[in-house]
Structure 1
Amino acid sequence: MIESTGDGRTWVLSGPTSGYAIGLTDADELLHLHWGPRIAVEDAEALAAQAPPPYRPFESPLDGHEEYPVEGGPRFVRPALSLRTPGVRGTEWSFAAAETDGDELRLRFTDALHALGLTLHYRMRDDADVVERWVTVAHEGPGAELEILRADAAVWTLPRRDSWRLGQLHGRWAAESRLVRAELTYGEKIIGSRRGHTGHQHLPWVALDADGESTEERGEVYGCALGWSGSWRIAVQHLPDGQVQITGGAGHDDSGLLRLAPGDSYTSPVFAGLWSAGGFGGASQAWHAWQLARVIPDAAAERPVLYNSWEATGFDISEERQRALARRAAAMGVELFVVDDAWFGARTSDRAGLGDWTPNPERFPRGLAPLADEVHALGMDFGIWVEPEMVNPDSDLYRAHPDWVQHHPGRTRTEYRNQLVLNLARPDVREHLWRQLDQLLGSAPIDYVKWDFNRCFTDPGWPGEEYPQRLWVEHVHALYGLLDRLRAAHPGVVFESCSGGGGRIDLGILSRTDQVWTSDNTDPLDRLAIQHGFSQLHPARVMAAWVTDSPQTQLNGRRSSLRFRFVSAMAGVLGIGGDLTRWSEEELTEARGWVELYRRIRPLVQHGELHRLRAPGGGLSAVQFLRGEETVVLAWLQAQHYGEPPPPLRLRGLDPAAAYECLESGAVHRGAVLAHQGLHTGLTGDLDAAVIRLRRRSS
């Protein structure tokens, strides 16, 4: 809901529990007024009427209060917008108009000197407490070209508090999404990626709570998440007067994003913000519900149990071996069979073949259709792996078009994993990829595509292009456009985003793919911490998690039971990636039981309300999913000490007056007892796990 005052210069956006208010001064300065619990328009008017901060030398009264600070004028905070025209840098904006279109508010400003237009977009839906913000910069010329050095999507202003604690998700390859919280000290904290993709090192999300007092269940939490799949930056500023502002957008520095000719415009990605009074858990639940309702395509559909052949075969694949794996996977109850790398071109190792997206004639002499048909006959969907943005120098594509990759003239073309990055900003490259992928998806009954991105930008050059910096932004726009076009042409195909694991996870890619590969690390114990961090922002419905072989040979050699591996992976979209030809009949039978159990609890896991009961650590950790009359608890015991049993788990979201029956044991528990005294898991020893299902009994 959007409301405004009678003079049309103060606005209030309202969601189910929260409100957001902004207002214009007489000098057309747009000030932030409120972000927190719902308020009335009259409250916003009262806030707008308050006296400005007293004058202090060497400070600006706008700093920490302006809604979208720009470069130029009496401002000393980090500018969200920096523009350059011949002889002039910076802008002076005048308010032009306010427009309301359903749940979107648009505030238009102009800079008459250069005929520039700035539109601040706000959207807050009636069913969500998420405020979506983005900006559009337009060259409304005539005049010289305009260079956008920086155009952040939004600046978020927090209320004054004694102190703030900052939460973020940091990591590296095979160790993504690890949650850390620390006091926000004075100055500026910057996270981001300068790699051309979202990156393993940080997810574009921050959460802040006042005075470090919020818990999983209670307390005010402010969260901000950026929807962009390229290089990005989020800066959290704790100003000298105690104000806190968060600015974020595309691009890793201020060296230039784009040039705009008269008539051109640039629209930033969305930078979404959320306020919750329900602690970290309440904030996560609100984020999850919003993404399932508004971001993720076809979110109501359940994601199938997947088998991926990569860890079983590596590059040594054959049609017959894939058929053998498919038969075993089908007998286990798997619903989607995926052929990973090495089905195409001269792909016998990672040194060749990328870019040649046709089946290898020796490995698949009749193409992929016969294998896909057999997989379908076994009752499973069929999927493949691709990495369209990359090319090996040893490929037909590169030999024909060596100029199609990002490179600087006269410089070495840096290879990572023996591959180079295609310049998707080039229209001819985009059109070539569209034709190849469209033909591929039409050549066989393919239901699923795993879209990988296995290296960073290192040589972002574009010989012959007057403004090569634009490839940083236009590569991402081209990626989005290609995915949109493929989804429209092949509406039944499901897409999963991968980037060496969790290197491309953000709201932008999630608006165009159905799930993401969370991490290349499939160790079930490590995954608990990775999944705990991931769940701070994103729902289990998009979090792919696999059961692989034990011992875990890729990283640590850890041995774990099939039970522990399955229960760890069942907290997301279950997949299996081990070499099934090496599994014993006993293991295959046990695995089939776990798959059957997952399929029964899948509606709760993928579409239920998540409660993090205990965070991963040295002992007991657990999550609970609640939907309708049912709830399921997934619990893991890392290690038991001194023979002492793990503590009971206090469940959440239950009716205290109702009775709940355990579907495994038949025991009946009162809701109030489960909430206050807790549920005993019965876990013992090291690396033990359990799935406990409860259903409300009818009175």
Structure 2
Amino acid sequence: MKSFKQIISKVKLLVLFIILYGLGLGVKAQTIIIPVETAKNALVLQVGSNRDLNAIYFGEKLLNSAEYSQIPGTFKQTEDYTSLLNSAYTPSGSRNLMEPAITVTHADGNNSLDLRYVSHQIKKVDDDVSLLSILLKDPVYNFEVTLFYKSYFKEDVIEQWTEIRHKEKGNVVLHKYASANLYVKAGSYWLNQYHGDWAKEMQPEESQLTHGIKTLDTKLGTRANLFQPSVFMISLNQPASEDEGSVLYGAMEWSGNFRIDLEVDYQDNLRIIAGMNNYASPYTLKPNETFSTPAFLYTFSDKGKGEASRKLQSWARNYRLLDGKGTRLTLLNNWESTYFDFNENKLAELLKDTKKLGVDLFLLDDGWFGNKYPRNDDRAGLGDWQENKSKLPNGISSLVKEAQSNGVKFGIWIEPEMVNSKSELYEKHPDWVIKQPLREEHYFRNQLVLDLSNPKVQDFVYGIVDKLFMDNPNLAYIKWDCNAVIYNAYSAHLNNQSHFYIDYVKGLYKVLERIRSKYPKVPMMLCSGGGGRVDYAALKYFTEFWPSDNTDPLERIFIQWEYSYFYPAISSSNHVTDWGKQPIKFRTDVAMMGKLGFDIVVSKLNGNDLKFCQDAIQTYDVMKPVIWQGDQYRLANPREGSVASVLYLNAEKSSGVIFNYLVNNRYGEGSKRPILLKGLDAAQKYKLKEVNLYPGVNSTIDDSRIYTGDFLMKVGFNPDVNAGRTSVVLQLDELR
């Protein structure tokens, strides 16, 4: 008679056989094709006979979807020894030989993982949006991953993320957990990445990808995009230009540490693996617990960078940016007028200047808080969010009322995630501060970061915003800053320190969710010492972002140009300041290519400068719907010539605004040749008129002439930019 152990052993083998058979390992299963199609593009997945889920196509979609199944047979490349080179989500420790998307240690200590297709379903969210989910399971361990593909048909955009869960008898440790694993075939691949630093954001750098792995990542914890923004482009076969070439745009929707691996494999294909950075972050997953990754966003165009950016901008306005189809407030900021040195009387005069200038709102910047440790410089007070009684004896509420009496709104600056060691908050709650208990504190801009993985800190940060609005219901605007990175990462709250970097960002999102639940419509600027935190996960909660503390208008032309590939004009806060040597007209014209603001001493403007600013604001109010909601066409690249030119055109192709700038001050430089316009109706007739003229200056543009769209796109128009006309703004209107 067989022993009980022998019976149990045979039962286990039988169960394993049934599982393997059900996953298609015991029989040849029918090939399943799963296309993710948008208006012009397709990502095509295939379930093979062994239930591997592979990507077989990415690019312009085919007219006949039945032909997708023929694609693999057209390639005669070297052998794939693993059947995982083009895996839709590559596991590690089993057959895989390349960079994995996911790495785990099971409850029994085993490090291998195999993921096989189980099922998929497609949900129609609305006429434009569909959600595909694909369930993958390990045939041996009770471990599963669900892949999500959210497609936006008209915009040709896809968001991709994963959910990871298990039912093992103990905890599983996730060592890598990507959001997406793309697979692209081409003759060569050209990466356009970005780097930077404070006041030098979005510096482009293009290079050909070679075999091996190129990694784009950050480990800063907060202000994560300071050195390495989480956006990039991949051109296929040759570097894409503005209007020609095949190009993929990618962006991580995550406000913390990210990692993007770009691997050209031995078959000369490109594998893109993107997600949260697993640096110092193995994540322990309990049974039945779900680990969700942030979305990786991408779009593709076979007509160059310009079309790809218009798709992404349209998607952002329609689906992601808070109030992306709404309006924005023009403002006057006090920072460069007063810095920390102000009082109620000074601010009262600035409020009058706000009305005189003609903008909507006055923004009070840093320095309004702290009593025991007054915020008179950046070394003290951060964390103590009570009004400074010396500067503001009557509090913020009196300023809000003063603003109302002047016919303008009032907004305020906060940096609620941060603390100075010289503060009451630091003294009362040192356990709320991110710092190693045994190491010397190290400061970034004289400050440390609060531990948002701690629910008590989340309540505190939410309470800062909530109290401001409870005490001042008419408060109209928040500028949310984040100036420090994380040093000596350690949470007194967390038992598992390897969860810290992820739980910090999740804590930040919890706070922002609470704020938006109670205050859904209040405009908020996303600032991080400039553009240190610009991503589409954060922009769900903010109406706009601050691209850079560098407001020199010449520099801003380049910075705003690069941001515009990924973000729409309505999201970009651009202020007129005293940075740079350009005249007020040049500075204002550059700032108008987005959400206009001023940070100048209005009382020091001469009569003509003030008159120009007042008139420009009125002109802007007329043009801003086209700038904010129109299609953007880059006409002349400042990196390729002496003139920069950008067109914003409404959907009907009947109205537009063209900004033109001289970016080279060498002798005789200017718009020597006409600039070709784009996007117009070739058969329609148009007139061009120069606007935003400085008082007393006459235009050299003959606005009585009539042009067809065909002429303007094939021959072009010369804005007459030169050393005497360094900035020219043209209004384009169809002839009615």
The code of the aligned residue for 1:67 comes to A
- 8 Å contact from structure 1 (residues 52, 61) kept in 2: no
SS at match of 1:42: helix
1:95 matched to 2:117: yes
Q: Counterpart of 2:71 in structure 1: which amino acid?
A: L
Matches within 5 A, 1:452-491: 452-463=481-492, 465-491=494-520
**Distance in 1 (alpha carbons) for counterparts of 2:311 and 2:475:** 34
Asked if 1:263 corresponds to 2:288, the answer is yes
Residues 180-237 of structure 1 show CA distances to partners (whole Å, capped at 9, x for unaligned) of: 2222222221112110133222221221112325321122111111100001111111
Shift of 1:667: 3.1
The counterpart of 1:403, out of the listed 419, 431, 440, is: 431
The reply to whether residue 221 of structure 1 matches residue 242 of structure 2 is no
Say which SS state the counterpart of residue 202 (structure 1) adopts: coil
- Would the alpha carbon gap of residues 112 and 32 (structure 1) be closer, same or farther in structure 2, given more than 3 Å must change? closer
Q: Deviations over 1:129-167 (max 9, x none)?
A: 1111000111334x21111111010011112x2212111
Choose from 235, 240, 243 the match for 2:266.
Answer: 240
Describe the shift of the 1:230–1:645 C-alpha distance in structure 2 as closer, same or farther (beyond 3 A).
Answer: closer
Contact 2:661 2:727 survives alignment (8 Å): yes
Q: Report the CA distance shift for 1:240/1:95 in structure 2 as closer, same or farther (over 3 A).
A: closer
Match of 1:447 among 469, 472, 476: 476
Q: CA deviation at 1:45?
A: 2.5
Give the RMSD, CA atoms, in angstroms.
Answer: 1.9
Deviations 1:540-579, CA, capped at 9 Å, x for gaps: 1101111101xx3xxxxx4111111111111111111112
Matching of residue 78 in structure 1 with residue 99 in structure 2:
yes
Amino acid at match of 1:461: Y
Aligned residue number for residue 158 of structure 2:
131
Aligned match of 2:726 in 680, 683, 688? 688
Q: Does 1:677 align with 2:715?
A: yes
Shift of 1:645: 4.6
* Cα pair 1:54 1:61 within 8 Å, conserved: no
Are residues 1:298 and 2:313 paired?
Answer: no
Q: Which residue does the alignment assign to 1:555?
A: none
Residue 274 (1) aligns with residue 303 (2): no
The one of 634, 639, 643 aligned to 1:620? 643
2:210 matched to 1:185? yes
1:48 deviates by 5.7
The alignment-based identity, stated in percent, is 28
Deviation per CA, 1:236-260: give whole Å up to 9, x if none.
111222101111111253x434211
SS in 1 for 2:524: strand
Partner of 2:15: none
Matched residue SS, 1:124: strand
Task: Report the CA distance between 1:362 and its aligned residue.
Answer: 2.0
Deviations 1:286-345 (A, max 9, x none): 110111111112111122212111111111121221121121122111112110101111
> CA separation in 2, counterparts of 1:51 and 1:622?
43
Equivalent in 512, 527, 531 of residue 498 of structure 1? 527
Report the more deviating stretch, 418-427 or 586-595: 586-595
Q: Which moved more, 1:488-497 or 1:608-617?
A: 488-497
Q: With structure 2 as the length reference, what TM-score do the two structures score?
A: 0.89
Aligned-partner SS, 2:537: helix
Alpha-carbon separation, structure 1, partners of 2:541 and 2:67: 39
- Which residue pairs with 2:16 in the alignment? none
CA contact (8 A) 2:174 2:282 kept: yes
Count of residues in Structure 1 that have an aligned counterpart in Structure 2: 680
Matched, 1:635 2:660: yes
Q: Label 1:480 to 1:592 Cα distance change in 2 as closer, same or farther (>3 A).
A: same
| Whole-Å separation in 2 of the counterparts to 1:672 and 1:450 | 44
Whole-Å separation in 2 of the counterparts to 1:649 and 1:260: 57
Letter in 2 for 1:388: P
Superposition deviation, residue 463 in structure 1: 3.8
For 2:203, give the aligned amino acid: R
- Does structure 2 retain, via aligned residues, the 8 Å contact 1:357–1:437? no
SS in 1 for 2:596: strand
- After superposition, the C-alpha distances for 1:250-277 in whole angstroms (9 at most, x for unaligned) are 1253x43421112211111100121112
What is the aligned partner in structure 1 of residue 35 from structure 2?
12
Preserved contact between residue 563 and residue 688 of structure 1 (Cα < 8 Å): no
**Structure 1 residue 126: Cα displacement:** 2.6
Contact 1:544 1:575 in 2 (8 A): yes
Match of 1:314 among 339, 345, 360: 339
1:212 has 2:234 as partner? no
CA distance in 1, matches of 2:259, 2:454: 25
Task: Give, in whole Å, the separation in 1 of the partners of 2:529 and 2:364.
Answer: 17
Q: Which amino acid aligns with 1:98?
A: H
Q: Which runs of 5+ in 1 are unaligned?
A: 1-5, 553-557
2:221 aligns with 196
For residue 705 of structure 2, what is the aligned residue in structure 1?
A: 667
What letter corresponds to residue 55 of structure 1 in structure 2? E
Worse-superposed segment, 287-296 or 177-186: 177-186
Query: For the structure 1 residues 191 and 311, does the alpha-carbon distance in structure 2 shift closer, same or farther, using more than 3 Å as the test?
Result: same
User: 1:677: how far off?
Assistant: 1.4
Paired with 1:640 and 1:416, the residues of 2 have a C-alpha distance of 37
The aligned amino acid for 1:418 is N
SS at match of 1:507: coil
Q: Is the 8 A contact 1:171 1:200 kept in 2?
A: yes
Task: Measure the CA separation in 2 of the matches of 1:676 and 1:70.
Answer: 52
Shift of 1:350: 0.8
Q: How does 1:520-531 map to 2 (within 5 A)?
A: 520-531=549-560
Distance 1:137 1:559, change over 3 A: same
Matches within 5 A, 1:408-419: 408-419=436-447
Q: Which residue of 1 aligns with 2:26?
A: none
Counterpart residue type for residue 242 of structure 1: D
CA deviations on 1:427-461 (whole Å, 9 max, x unpaired) are 11112222232112211121111111101111111
CA–CA distance in structure 2, aligned partners of residues 559 and 644 of structure 1: 18
Tell me, in whole angstroms, the C-alpha distance in 1 between the residues paired with 2:669 and 2:219. 48
The aligned residue for residue 118 of structure 1 is 145
Secondary structure of 1:89's counterpart equals: coil
Deviation at 1:128, TM superposition (A): 2.0
- Code of the residue aligned with 1:573 in structure 2: it is K
The answer on whether the counterparts of 2:31 and 2:49 sit within 8 Å (CA) in structure 1 is no
Q: Is the 8 A contact 1:327 1:378 kept in 2?
A: yes
Give the 3 Å change call, closer, same or farther, for CA 342–642 of structure 1 in structure 2: closer
Structure 1 residue aligned with 2:24: none
Shift in Å at residue 492 of structure 1?
A: 3.1
- Please tell me the residue identity of whatever aligns with 1:41: S
* Counterpart position of 2:576: 547
Per the alignment, do residues 11 and 216 of structure 1 end up closer, same or farther by CA in structure 2, a change over 3 Å counting?
same
User: What letter corresponds to residue 575 of structure 1 in structure 2?
Assistant: G
1:420 matched residue in structure 2: 448
In structure 2, what residue type is equivalent to 1:239? Answer: D
Do the aligned partners of residues 74 and 573 (structure 1) sit closer, same or farther apart at CA in structure 2, a change above 3 Å counting? Answer: same
Once the two structures are superposed, what CA deviation does each residue of 1:578-630 show, in whole Å capped at 9, x if it has no partner? 12232223321111122122212101111110001111135111100000310
Tell me the residue number matched to 1:3: none
Partners in 1 of 2:34 and 2:349 — Cα distance?
63
C-alpha contact 1:53 1:61 (8 A) present in aligned 2: no
Q: Normalising by the residue count of structure 1, what TM-score does the alignment of the two structures yield?
A: 0.94
Report the CA distance between 1:506 and its aligned residue. Answer: 0.9
